[in-house]
């Protein structure tokens, strides 16, 4: 939560960054301005004009404007102390060459000297060592501050430097504002652009599009919700397609399963009508076959009808709190004789004490009957069938197991699908393939679970029902 990169926070960060940039530019501006001014004028304070500040490798570049303003001048001496250039108006003795003594004198008698003196050696671009000697009437230096201010205001050097520096920094400022605004905008517009693209995809019915960008917390929230929405839409779309496909498959299965027995009935009836079957016993057998086929058609229609009723959201499903042990005993009794007749070994384990559970008696009976009928119909005599009821903390567990032919791994996932029948069952043309689908739908209505564990010779249906 703490590390959320909020848009507001990131904007604040940007503004701080921008302010720092502006601050740095202003400081750099004033430093550069002063530096350039000092370079052009030789010094920023006339009272401290030193020869070492104004020396330049090119004599022409030596700035003397301030010195001249104070009626001073600059003498350039060569190694032999001969004056080779004078900048400004030299008004003292017309010396052409100094002796060392004369030069030293200038410094020793500083107090008596009417001039401010400063001397500095420097090397020219050509590698020649020269001396720069400044002389300014001390009288004028005393008023230097006033003169300096005046000079700075009026001299065109000042304005030139100022304008140049202002232009340079204006350009720098504009460039930095441009970069900053592009950068800030891109942090918002890039994610927005992706979001718009995502919405366009979804609007055109393509739900596979997901968006992924680096951005602030608020934009990330939009991204997260968009992706969740796209997931849901994609899932719904897939389910819709699967439902349409399964409906289509169901229609094909129903019509096929109805057509086969009806065609057979038609054939037998025609044979009887044309008098092709004369023998009384054969006639009886044919009528029995017609009856069986007609029963199959009826049970298929009934199962389809029941299943669609159970799956309907308006189905009036009701439960009643009752003793499930009693119910299970009734179920066992109902099947006992059938298992005996077909020589199955049928065992049941049901707790002796009362166990109250909320369930729909008729529907649960049907659901479990389908499982027991399967054990009976799909296996050979001698098969052992077990029915078990167990109590858990919040649930009851029902196990229906047999050690018959088992259900192959491939078929295990399909058995709960409508119209699915194992190869053997399909050949024998016995069931409708809706038995387990109806069983599962009923357990679902009870908010329970049904699982199939099966190996080559064992089938175990595990049912969990909430109490």
Binding site for ligand ATP (CB under 6 A): 370, 374-375, 378-379, 402, 404-405, 407, 415, 420-422, 425, 431-436, 459
Task: Choose the binding region for Mg ion from 21-29, 276-284, 368-376, 403-411 (rule: CB under 5 A).
Answer: 368-376
What does 422 interact with, of Mg ion, ligand ATP, none (CB < 5 to 8 A by kind)? Answer: ligand ATP
Q: Cβ distance 7 to 217 under 8 Å? A: yes
CA distance 305 to 189: 57
Rank residues 327 and 419 by Cβ distance to Mg ion and give the closer one: 419
Beta carbon of residue 437, minimum distance to ligand ATP (angstroms, whole number): 6
Task: Choose the binding region for Mg ion from 119-127, 181-189, 347-355, 427-435 (rule: CB under 5 A).
Answer: 427-435
What does 375 interact with, of Mg ion, ligand ATP, none (CB < 5 to 8 A by kind)? Answer: ligand ATP
Question: Considering Cα of 127, then 129, then 135, then 141, what sign does the dihedral take?
Answer: positive
Task: Choose the binding region for Mg ion from 123-131, 181-189, 191-199, 435-443 (rule: CB under 5 A).
Answer: 435-443
Q: Contacting Mg ion (CB under 5 A), which of 435, 438, 441, 465?
A: 435
What does 432 interact with, of ligand ATP, Mg ion, none (CB < 5 to 8 A by kind)? Answer: ligand ATP
Kindly state whether residue 422 participates in binding Mg ion, applying the rule CB under 5 A: no
Kindly state whether residue 374 participates in binding Mg ion, applying the rule CB under 5 A: yes
CA distance 426 to 307: 20
The torsion region of residue 87 among left (phi > 0), alpha (psi -120 to 50) and beta comes to: beta
Residue (of 104, 109, 158, 170) closest to 133 by Cα position: 104
Q: Which residue has the tokens 């069938």?
A: 385
Q: Cβ distance 406 to 455 under 8 Å? A: yes
What does 405 interact with, of ligand ATP, Mg ion, none (CB < 5 to 8 A by kind)? Answer: ligand ATP
What does 190 interact with, of Mg ion, ligand ATP, none (CB < 5 to 8 A by kind)? Answer: none
Helix 324-341 with 361-377: angle, nearest 10 deg:
30
Beta carbon of residue 333, minimum distance to ligand ATP (angstroms, whole number): 20
Beta carbon of residue 425, minimum distance to ligand ATP (angstroms, whole number): 3
CA distance 40 to 20: 30
CA 166 → CA 20, 22, 174, 181, 182, distances in Å? 19, 14, 12, 22, 24
Q: Cβ distance 459 to 452 under 8 Å? A: yes
Segment 284-313, which members bind Mg ion (CB under 5 A)? none
In the complex, the residues that contact Mg ion under the rule CB under 5 A are 374, 431, 435
């Amino acid at each position: 939560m703490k590390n959320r990169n909020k848009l507001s926070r990131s904007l604040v960060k940007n503004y701080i960054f921008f302010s720092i940039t502006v601050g740095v530019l202003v400081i750099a501006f004033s430093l550069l301005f002063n530096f350039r001014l000092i370079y052009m004028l030789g010094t920023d304070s006339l009272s401290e004009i030193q020869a070492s500040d104004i020396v330049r490798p090119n004599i022409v570049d030596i700035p003397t404007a301030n010195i001249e303003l104070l009626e001073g001048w600059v003498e350039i001496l060569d190694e032999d102390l001969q004056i080779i250039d004078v900048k400004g108006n030299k008004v003292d003795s017309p010396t052409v060459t100094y002796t060392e003594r004369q030069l030293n004198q200038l410094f020793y008698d500083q107090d008596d000297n009417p001039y401010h003196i400063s001397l500095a050696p420097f090397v020219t671009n050509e590698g020649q060592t020269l001396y720069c000697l400044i002389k300014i009437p001390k009288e004028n230096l005393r008023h230097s501050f006033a003169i300096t201010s005046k000079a700075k205001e009026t001299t065109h050097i000042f304005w030139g430097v100022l304008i140049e520096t202002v232009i340079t920094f204006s350009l720098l400022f504009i460039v930095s504002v441009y970069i900053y605004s592009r950068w800030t905008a891109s942090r918002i517009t890039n994610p927005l652009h992706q979001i718009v693209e995502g919405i366009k995809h979804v609007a055109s019915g393509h739900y596979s599009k997901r968006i992924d960008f680096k951005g602030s917390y608020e934009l990330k929230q939009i991204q997260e919700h968009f992706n969740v929405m796209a997931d849901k839409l994609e899932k719904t779309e897939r389910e819709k397609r699967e439902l349409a496909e399964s409906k289509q498959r169901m229609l094909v299965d129903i019509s096929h399963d109805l057509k086969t027995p009806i065609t057979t009935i038609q054939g037998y009836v025609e044979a009887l009508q044309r008098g092709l079957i004369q023998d009384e016993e054969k006639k009886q057998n044919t009528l029995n076959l017609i009856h069986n086929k007609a029963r199959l058609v009826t049970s298929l229609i009934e199962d389809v009808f029941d299943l669609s009723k159970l799956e309907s959201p308006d189905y009036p499903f009701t439960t009643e709190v009752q003793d499930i042990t009693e119910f299970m005993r009734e179920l066992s009794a109902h099947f006992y004789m059938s298992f005996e007749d077909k020589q199955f070994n049928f065992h049941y384990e049901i707790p002796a004490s009362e166990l109250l559970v909320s369930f729909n008696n008729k529907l649960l009976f049907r659901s479990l009957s389908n499982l027991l009928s399967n054990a009976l119909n799909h296996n050979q005599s001698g098969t052992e069938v077990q029915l078990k009821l167990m109590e858990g903390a919040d649930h009851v567990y029902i196990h229906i197991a047999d050690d018959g032919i088992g259900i192959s791994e491939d078929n295990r996932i399909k058995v709960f699908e409508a119209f699915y029948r194992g190869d053997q069952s399909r050949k024998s043309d016995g069931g409708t393939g809706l038995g387990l689908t109806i069983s599962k739908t009923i357990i679902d209505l009870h908010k329970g679970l049904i699982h199939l564990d099966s190996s080559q010779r064992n089938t175990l249906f595990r049912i969990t029902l909430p109490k």
